[in-house]
Structure formats: structure tokens, C-alpha cells
């Protein structure tokens, strides 16, 4: 198969939602359809011993939530599908924000009973800034929830989307009989006792046919006809170009835990979702069809296999072909590196690959040479944009709780910070280390992982800081004076850049007035 054909058959997407909307469960069922797994795991279950494939970290199995983005690839209908299952919990939002820089499209999962929730709004907002095409999957139709039209209105208003239903539910909860697939003009019947099997599919080109009553009953058939007529009159027809430009959002209904409506979503997705798109660097726009290889690191995961203490850097390929054993330029270091064991993923399972194409996610064994945002090329100096670290809002002093394990503590802390789970600042005045995060649960994750993956322990003390902001100025004298006057609140990040830890909004405002030539940045990209 030719280079261009390989690019066109790639589909790289993220699944985003508020916690507990069923995102990881949907991922499992997509993997099941792709033949990547034989039995779908459970996110939360006392009866099922198999956990969700994408929730492979010990803390994820204990909590029943995703705390780290998982990468999974499989083949389906001659397409190469790359799924990135992201954490839904707001405390891990920074990992999700960065992951969204590596996808070409997204599927938004919404709980039929809870509707649009706050974290969904934030993540959709991030996608919108990049014009990422999004499809919507309204989940848990086997439970009682909001009316379908009310949900569509809520999606339009809260998420500022222009929706286009491509399937429509027949009933809900105990009355749920199935969906009518408008995209393929098919009736799909629901069987609540058949979780791993497909529902019965009947072709209905003419929904007015009296045959419909035989399958779903007279009352449901009458209501469905009225609703489909309303859908046709109210919502726009599907337009491929509008969807791929992020201007139209197809909607599907189903129940992921019952494996219902998922195949319809996947079949439509592989047909309409965009193949790899162009990428932006500070120097120029990169097109996937370019023959020279380029790519960037969007995630680092330490101890993906705790037995081997390995660190994996996740590389998104943007153009050209990546080849095993070939030398590539690490732009930040200015050095050539070759990778003898690049891997593809099924969550924590890896296999060595010889080549990869634009849109693919490749794992590179990392000995500490990568940080998030690093570029790899065949020689061109490029810096990819849009992969920031955000200003943390919760801070704690961190100390080594076991003096005999200081080496393990330092190494563990350094590697976990490289993953981007949190940010480490060192106070200039006394050398104390401060961890800053966007969510409180991250502190627990760091403590748990230090103990279980590095045999180190830490203790926290409250740190009375309000906001971290990177500072810069073209006025060297004023910058030096700022550092002198605010010395007790000045620190450096892991790259040695100056960071001001303000204790309150009032103090931040006062600093801005006193030093007008100093610029304050709330992301690390400046």
C-alpha cells in the first residue's frame, strides 16, 4: 500500500466526557468490535475480574476511574484506528488537554440521565479552539433519562454545537426498544440480555411501512414516525465538509455497557472522520503528505511496566514515515537519536513496529531525554505549538518521608513531573520543593505511585499560594528588581525558568501595578 493510502486510512481520535459518563466502557466496546480484545472488561465491578483494558494502572483499578490517557490501536474495515481514552476527572484535565493536541477528531460521551456536565463543557471548549471535528454519543439509554429532544437542545446550548442526529432512540429505560439509524436507514432492536452480542438489525428504507409495527408495536411505531419527521424538519442534513471543519456534530444514541449502538457509531465514524490533518509549528504549517518525517511528544508515562521501570514517550507522527533504527534529530537537544524498539500500544501491552505513518502514536523508550512538547525531525528545526503546561492552582510543600530512600524519592519525583501529572517548583530562597496541580486528587496519585513504583514515600505540608505564573520582561533592570523584592515567592520550574508564586489575587494585582514592564504568563508557552 502506498504512502498516501496509508495516511488516508488512519483515524486518530480521543474520547472525552465528564467522569462516569461511560467513556472507558465505550472504548472497551470499540476494541471488542475491532477484534482487539475478546471480552470487554469492566470499569467498576465486584463480579467481573477483568478490568477495563485502558485502566491498567493499579490506582485506576482500585478507584474505578481513569487517571492517565491510554493509547490503543486496532484495524477495522481496512482502517487503522488509534483511540486515546482520556481521564474524565477534572483533577487530571491537564493530561486530557495535551492529549487533544495529538488527535484529529473526538467523540464526546454524554450520560442520558445527567446531560451535559461541567467537565464536558471545558473539554469541548478545548476542541473548539482547534476546530476539532466532534461526534456525540448519548449513552446509557437502557436507563431512564432526559427526553432525546431536550438533550439535543442542551448539547446545542451548553456546548455551542450544531447537532445532526444520525440515529434516534425508540423509548428509554424499561421501555427502550432500540434505535433507528438515520445514516443507514436501519432499525436496530435492543436485547437487554445480550451484552456481548449485536442487536438484531432490520433494514427499513421506508419508515412508513406497516412492517414497523410488527417489530416495535403500534404505539412506539407511531411515536418514532412523528419524531423522525420532526428531526428531518428541525435539524440540518449531514454534510461531510461541515463536520470535518468542526461546524456540524453528528449524534448517536446507545448503551455502551450493553454493547448497543456502538457498532453504528463506529461504522459511521470510520467513513466520515478525517484522516490526519496539518500541524502547526512556530516555523510553518506541516502537512501529513510531506515525505520528511516530523513528530512531537505529547505524553510521557513512567513505569508503564513497573517490573522493568521503563519510561515511554508517546510520539504523534505528523508527516513522513517513521522507521525503526533510523537516526532522527531531537530538536531541543540538537542531537541525533535512533530508536531500535519503537512500539505500538494496547494500553499497557506493547509490540515492536518497523514503521509508522502520520496519525499513528508510537511509544519510544525514554531514559530521560524527552519532555512533553519535544520535536523529532529528519533535520529541520521545528517547534510544535499548542502543548502547554497550565498554571496550577493547588500547592503543597513536598518532603522525603524516608531519608534512606532519598535517591528513589528524587528519581520518582523527577520522572512523575516529566509525565506532566503535576509541576515541581524549587523556591530560590530556601530550596524547598513545591508541587502544584490543577486538581487535589493528583497529590494522592503522586503519593501512591511514589510508594508502589519507586519504593519511596513523601509527606505534604500546606503551601499558601494562590497561583503560579511564569514571568518575562524586556526590561532587565525591572526584572532583576522584581526578583529581589519578591525573592521569598520566587522559584524555578524544572526547566530553570523563573516562576512567581502569588499568595493572593490582591498580591498578583499589586505586583502587576508595581512592575508594569514585567509580563505574567499563565501557561508555559510564551
Contact status, residue 84 vs residue 431, Cβ threshold 8 Å: no
Q: What is the mean pLDDT of residues 97-119?
A: 87
Helix (H) or strand (E) holding 271: helix 262-272
Percent of the chain with pLDDT over 90: 44
Q: From residue 166, give the alpha-carbon distance in Å to each of 26, 30, 181.
A: 18, 18, 6
Residue 285 confidence (pLDDT)? 93
Residue with cell 414497523: 212
Confidence band, pLDDT 50/70/90 cuts, at residue 41: very low
| Phi, psi of 141, rounded to the nearest 5 degrees | -65, -15
78 pLDDT higher than 50: yes
Count of Cβ atoms closer than 10 Å to residue 367 Cβ: 7
Q: Residue 167's pLDDT band (boundaries 50, 70, 90)?
A: very high
* Cell numbers at 225, concatenated: 414516525
Phi, psi angles (nearest 5°) of residue 75: -100, 140
Distance CA 325, CA 296 (A): 18
pLDDT at residue 328, rounded to an integer: 95
Classified by CATH at the fold level, domain 394-521 comes out as Alpha-Beta Plaits (3.30.70)
In the predicted model, is pLDDT for residue 135 greater than 90?
yes
Higher per-residue pLDDT: 526 or 479 = 479
Burial degree of 145 (CB within 10 A; 0-12, 13-18, 19+): buried
pLDDT higher than 80, residue 68: no
pLDDT at residue 495, as a whole number: 82
At residue 94, the pLDDT reads 63
The pLDDT of residue 123 is above 60: yes
Of 126, 139, 62, 138, nearest to 95 (Cα)? Answer: 126
Report the range of poorest mean pLDDT among 207-211, 387-391, 472-476: 387-391
Mean model confidence pLDDT for the chain: 83
Phi, psi values for residue 43, rounded to 5° = -80, -45
Contact 26, 15 (CB under 8 A): yes
Lowest mean pLDDT, pick from 77-91, 241-255, 300-314, 502-516: 300-314
The reported pLDDT for the residue numbered 510 is 92
Q: Which of 365, 450, 459 is nearest to 410 (CA)?
A: 450
Please tell me which of 17-21, 36-40, 123-127, 289-293 the model is most confident about, judged by mean pLDDT.
289-293
The Cα–Cα gap between 116 and 151 comes to: 8
Using only C-alpha atoms, what is the Rg of the chain? 25
Domains 3-81+90-272 and 284-377 are alike in CATH topology: yes
Q: What is the pLDDT of residue 30?
A: 81
3-class DSSP assignment, residue 264: helix
Q: How far apart are CA 515 and CA 519, in angstroms?
A: 9
How high is the pLDDT of residue 253? 94
Domain boundaries, the chain: 3-81+90-272, 284-377, 394-521
Res. 88 pLDDT band, cuts 50 70 90? very low
Report yes or no: 498 and 363 within 8 Å, Cβ to Cβ: no
**CATH architecture classification, 284-377:** 3-Layer(aba) Sandwich (3.40)
Q: What is the pLDDT of residue 303?
A: 57
Stronger pLDDT, 379 or 62, i.e. the higher one: 379
Enter the pTM of the model. Answer: 0.76
CATH topology of domain 3-81+90-272: Rossmann fold (3.40.50)
Amino acid at each position: 500500500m502506498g504512502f498516501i493510502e496509508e495516511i488516508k486510512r488512519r483515524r486518530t481520535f480521543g474520547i472525552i466526557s465528564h467522569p462516569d459518563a461511560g467513556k472507558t466502557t465505550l472504548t472497551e466496546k470499540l476494541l471488542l468490535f475491532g477484534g482487539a480484545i475478546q471480552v470487554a472488561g469492566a470499569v467498576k465491578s465486584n463480579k467481573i475480574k477483568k478490568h477495563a483494558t485502558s485502566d491498567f494502572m493499579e490506582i485506576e483499578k482500585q478507584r474505578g476511574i481513569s487517571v492517565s490517557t491510554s493509547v490503543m490501536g486496532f484495524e477495522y474495515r481496512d482502517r487503522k484506528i488509534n483511540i486515546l481514552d482520556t481521564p474524565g476527572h477534572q483533577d487530571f484535565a491537564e493530561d486530557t488537554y495535551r492529549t487533544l493536541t495529538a488527535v484529529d477528531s473526538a467523540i464526546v460521551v454524554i450520560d442520558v440521565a445527567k446531560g451535559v456536565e461541567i467537565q464536558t463543557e471545558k473539554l469541548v471548549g478545548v476542541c473548539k479552539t482547534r476546530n476539532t471535528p466532534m461526534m456525540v454519543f448519548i449513552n446509557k439509554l437502557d436507563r431512564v433519562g432526559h427526553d432525546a429532544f431536550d438533550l439535543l437542545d442542551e448539547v446545542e446550548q451548553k456546548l455551542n454545537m450544531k447537532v445532526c442526529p444520525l440515529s434516534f432512540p425508540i423509548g428509554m429505560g424499561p421501555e427502550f426498544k432500540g434505535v433507528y439509524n438515520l445514516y443507514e436507514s436501519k432499525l436496530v432492536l435492543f436485547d437487554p440480555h445480550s451484552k456481548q452480542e449485536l442487536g438484531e438489525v432490520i433494514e427499513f428504507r421506508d419508515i412508513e411501512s406497516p412492517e414497523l409495527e410488527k417489530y416495535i408495536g403500534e404505539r412506539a411505531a407511531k411515536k418514532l414516525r412523528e419524531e423522525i419527521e420532526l428531526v428531518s424538519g428541525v435539524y440540518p442534513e449531514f454534510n461531510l465538509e461541515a463536520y470535518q471543519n468542526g461546524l456540524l456534530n453528528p449524534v448517536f444514541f446507545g448503551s455502551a455497557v450493553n454493547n448497543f449502538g456502538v457498532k453504528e457509531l463506529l461504522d459511521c465514524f470510520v467513513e466520515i472522520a478525517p484522516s490526519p490533518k496539518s500541524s502547526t509549528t512556530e516555523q510553518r504549517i506541516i502537512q501529513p503528505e510531506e515525505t520528511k518525517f516530523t513528530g512531537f511528544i505529547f505524553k510521557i508515562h513512567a513505569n508503564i511496566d513497573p517490573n522493568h521501570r521503563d519510561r515511554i514517550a508517546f510520539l504523534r507522527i505528523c508527516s513522513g514515515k517513521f522507521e525503526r533504527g533510523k537516526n532522527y534529530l531531537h530538536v531541543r537537544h540538537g542531537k541525533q537519536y535512533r530508536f531500535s524498539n519503537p512500539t505500538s500500544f494496547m494500553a499497557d501491552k506493547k509490540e515492536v513496529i518497523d514503521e509508522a505513518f502520520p496519525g499513528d502514536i508510537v511509544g519510544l523508550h525514554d531514559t530521560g531525554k524527552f519532555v512533553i512538547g519535544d520535536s523529532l525531525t529528519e533535520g529541520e528545526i521545528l517547534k510544535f505549538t499548542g502543548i502547554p503546561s497550565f498554571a496550577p492552582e493547588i500547592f503543597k510543600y513536598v518532603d522525603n518521608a524516608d531519608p534512606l530512600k532519598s535517591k528513589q524519592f528524587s528519581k520518582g519525583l523527577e520522572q512523575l513531573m516529566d509525565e506532566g501529572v503535576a509541576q515541581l517548583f524549587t523556591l530560590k530562597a530556601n530550596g524547598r520543593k513545591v508541587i502544584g496541580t490543577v486538581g487535589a486528587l493528583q497529590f494522592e496519585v503522586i503519593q501512591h505511585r511514589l510508594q508502589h513504583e519507586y519504593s519511596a514515600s513523601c509527606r505534604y505540608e500546606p503551601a499558601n499560594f494562590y497561583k503560579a505564573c511564569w514571568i518575562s520582561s524586556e526590561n532587565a533592570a525591572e526584572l532583576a528588581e522584581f526578583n529581589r523584592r519578591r525573592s521569598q515567592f520566587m522559584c524555578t520550574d524544572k526547566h530553570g525558568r523563573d516562576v512567581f508564586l502569588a499568595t493572593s489575587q490582591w498580591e498578583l494585582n499589586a505586583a502587576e501595578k508595581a512592575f508594569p514592564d514585567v509580563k505574567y504568563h499563565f501557561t508555559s508557552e510564551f
